[in-house]
Amino acid sequence: MLRSVLLAASRSSRIERLATKAPVTRDVVRRFVAGATVEDALRTTGELVSRGLKVTLAHLGEDTRDAEQAAAARDEYLRLVAALAEAQFTSAAELSLKLSALGLRLDQRMAQDHAAAVCAAAAAAGTMVTLDMEDHTVTDAICEIHAKLRQDYPQTGIALQAYLRRTEADCRDLSGPGTRVRLCKGAYAEPESVAYQTRLEVDKSYVRCLNILMAGEGYPMLATHDPRLIAIGEDRARWFDRAPDELEFQMLYGVRPAEQERLAAEGYPVRVYVPYGTRWYAYLMRRLAERPANLAFLARAVRSRT
Ligand code: FDA
């Protein structure tokens, strides 16, 4: 119930305007977001890399509704690639891209062209792109663009969401050699017709998808903080004889940092999803929806100001 209220609020531009101006939210934002600028993103990348972690950087923003904003989002990523190359972070840091920020809801072809420009720059600089997965109304479009991008940039990854009923089949399609699939539970409010609704159903689907990816020939990227699923991931790595560097764990910036370091110390690549930029509102609301305890964190920040 609380989750659906928060996810519905994540789509309200009126609440976004209010929240962005409120000084109290800044303290909460800082836990999950690296900062507003490319420099903030690079500083955080440096800190994480010095702790033996890898990074995927995401410039915040989604659901762009005009072509100018979509081009600006592409240009921001091009600046980011140049900055990563200059700082010599391209072997440790890749990019996470939301196609809706590049105009997907406006014009699929435009989003694809912008994404191709980012993939080309990333490849030239020696890094890669992973496409974030968004709500189910754009899953087909994101999968189509992913397939097109892979023709020229085969290393392009994609996130798949275990809560969607279709995802087992998508995992099967994307378990061949050279694929990079980030498996997550899924962060949006989705109807029963397309998505499992209970935690147990989603977790069971995650394990089925994990089995397919681990048995396959691609590179699975297990994006979860769930201790039980992480343990199952480690178990399957042994079962399917995968060396630690034949898969990776991924977690969000600000969530379970000690677990990130524990897995890295075990020899697994661990990649931290680091968002930056000023459009943090929808991202933060999804993080609050995932864990009610984060609301207490927000409440403490409010109390400390009053
Ligand atoms: P679950 O929500 O069950 O959490 C397990 C435990 O982890 C919790 O008990 C808590 O201890 C901790 N935890 C989880 N979330 C927390 C939070 N926000 N704050 C504090 N503690 C928390 N989704 C999507 O739809 N499309 C995408 O492209 C991506 N991309 C993505 C990349 C990466 C690297 C990660 C880690 C996650 C995503 N997600 C995503 C989000 C994902 O779908 C999911 O909503 C969150 O990861 C939470 O699910 P868990 O698997 O962590 O389990």
pLDDT given at position 306: 46
Report CA-CA distances (Å) from 71 to 64, 67, 103, 142. 10, 6, 8, 18
Residue 132 near ligand 1, beta carbon < 6 Å: yes
pLDDT at 57: 98
Which residues are part of the catalytic machinery?
132, 182
Q: At what angle do helices 23-32 and 281-290 cross, to 10 degrees?
A: 70
pLDDT at 145: 98
Q: What are phi and psi of 138, to 5 degrees?
A: -120, 10
Each domain of the chain, given as residue ranges in start order, spans 34-276
Render pLDDT for 103-161 as a digit per residue (tens, 0 to 9).
999 999 999 999 999 999 999 999 999 999 999 999 999 999 999 999 999 999 999 99
**168 alpha carbon – ligand 1 mean position (Å):** 19
Overall fold of domain 34-276: TIM Barrel (3.20.20)
State the pLDDT confidence band at 46, using cuts at 50, 70 and 90. Answer: very high
Residue 190, C-beta contacts closer than 8 angstroms, at least 6 positions apart? 135, 136, 163, 164
Task: For residue 102, give the DSSP letter.
Answer: G
67-98 pLDDT tens trace: 999 999 999 999 999 999 999 999 999 999 99
In the reported structure, the alpha carbon of residue 265 is separated from the centroid of ligand 1 by a whole-number distance in angstroms of 21
Residue 142 Cβ contacting ligand 1 at under 6 Å: no
Q: Please indicate whether residue 25 or residue 164 has the higher confidence score (pLDDT).
A: 164
Q: How many CB atoms lie within 10 A of CB 286?
A: 18
**Rounded Cα gap, residues 63 and 44, in angstroms:** 26
Average pLDDT on 284-294 reads 84
CA of 86 to the centre of ligand 1 (A): 31
On average, the pLDDT of the chain sits at 93
If one residue of 252, 268, 271, 286 were mutated to test the ligand 1 pocket, choosing by the most ligand atoms within 8 A of its CB, it would be: 252
pLDDT in tens, 231-280: 999 999 999 999 999 999 999 999 999 999 999 999 999 999 999 999 88
For a mutational test of ligand 1's pocket, the pick from 28, 185, 222, 295, i.e. the residue with the most ligand atoms closer than 8 A to its C-beta, is: 185
